[in-house]
Amino acid sequence: MARSIDQQIATTQAKLARLKERHKASETRRKIIVGSVAISNALKDPEKARALAALLRRAVTREVDQKELVGLLEELDGVAAKAERP
């Protein structure tokens, strides 16, 4: 028995929704990986630490997000400060 046009549309819409969900999950995973690599490298290199801290202070504007980054910014500042000491 052939499916009606409405059934085909519903099936296609459901498939599209699943694909969009997979795409969003993939984007989120990519952001996590890039962020992890950036943080890891910045914590090993004072120049990168200084640059990442400056970028985060400029780009992160929501108060709730800023609060989440307090500890990381302190770590980055600590790494950057080590390079300033003789």
Enter the DSSP assignment of 69.
Answer: T
What is the per-residue pLDDT for 32?
98
CB proximity list for 57: less than 8 A, separation 6 or greater:
73
Q: pTM of the prediction?
A: 0.77
pLDDT tens digit sequence for 3-55: 899 999 999 999 999 999 999 999 999 999 999 999 999 999 999 999 999 99
Compute CA distances 30 → 25, 26, 38, 56, whole Å.
9, 6, 12, 18
